[in-house]
Amino acid sequence: MKKIIFIFILILLIAGIIVTIKMTGNTIKNSESNKVKLETTAGDIVIELYPSKAPITVANFKKYVKEGFYDNTIFHRIIAGFMVQGGGIDASGEEKETYAPIKLESKNGLSNKKGTVAMARTNVPDSATAQFFINVADNTFLDYGTRDDGYAVFGKVIQGYDIVEKMSKVKTNSNDEPLSQIKIVKASFI
């Protein structure tokens, strides 16, 4: 009888170790994924990232996703026929503290076409931190060399573009802020 109990406990212990290893492996694999799901109050959006074209920008974006930075932020700037911007303002309207700005990677051969995702920045080329925008039109005038240093494209919406289109048509105030908040509930790797 003691032998049966010992074997039973040993089996449970081994099963627990296997489950732990699998769960740890999935966490590592998921954080290395180049697909990010934005669960928003308007619906889910899936973005495919392009690390071979924009390695610094993708690493930066992934760092913010991994740390939960984008959770409970809002799309704070929406211009119909142009883009939707989010990723740095919390639901109370306060700008979140970010890491230092990154080097601009707009010379990567990617174009600000409809459905692509690019980093927002100030007029200073190397000023992008956490905010990003999704193009809802072909905005090639934002590409490198067209008028200035351009805006670095680092991904593309591969699922949920219909959600982005709906978002781009919401009513906004004179500062392009949506009258009804659209929140990123959670950003996660898939």
**Residue in the structure block whose two tokens are 């081994």:** 14
Q: What is the pLDDT of residue 147?
A: 84
141: pLDDT confidence band, cut at 50, 70 and 90? very high
Q: Where do the domains of the chain lie? A: 1-32, 34-189
**Residue in the structure block whose two tokens are 């959670």:** 186
pTM: 0.85
According to DSSP, the residues that pair with 186 across neighbouring strands are: 39
Mean pLDDT of 14-24: 49
From the options 2.40.10.10, 3.90.226.10, 2.40.100.10, 1.10.3720.10, give the CATH code of 34-189.
Answer: 2.40.100.10
180: pLDDT confidence band, cut at 50, 70 and 90? very high
User: Using one digit for the tens of pLDDT, what is the confidence trace for 48-71?
Assistant: 999 999 999 999 999 999 999 999
Q: Is the pLDDT confidence value at 17 over 70?
A: no
Q: Is the pLDDT confidence value at 40 over 70?
A: yes
Q: Is the pLDDT confidence value at 167 over 60?
A: yes
